[in-house]
Amino acid sequence: MSSSLNVHLAKAADLQFQQEINKELAAYIKGQKGVITVHYVDLTTNESYSYNGNNAASAASTLKLPQALYIMELADLG
């Protein structure tokens, strides 16, 4: 298989995966109050995912940042 075909198939799989995730998230948050957005970035690969990323919302995740850093430190320590 050529490398350009592999890239095309990978992009199609990524699009299908994102569509499925969007569908599942929409079903999960249906009926919830407020504006719900999700944005994820893998800092190693720079891959990202966004759901309702164009909507402005409070950054609730920043409130969890100190806890997440502590948990990551504990995981590093085993």
Per-residue pLDDT of the chain (78 residues; tens, 9 = 90+): 555 555 555 566 678 888 888 898 889 888 888 778 888 888 888 888 888 878 777 776 677 778 888 999 999 998
CA–CA gap between residue 71 and residue 16 (Å, rounded): 32
Domain ranges of the chain: 2-77
pLDDT the model gives residue 10: 59
Quote the pTM value.
Answer: 0.51
CA–CA gap between residue 4 and residue 77 (Å, rounded): 42
Q: Which helix (H) or strand (E) covers residue 36, if one does? A: none
Contact 38, 25 (CB under 8 A): yes
Please give the full DSSP string across 51-77, using - where no structure is assigned.
ESTTS----THHHHHHHHHHHHHHHHH
Determine the residue type at 75. A
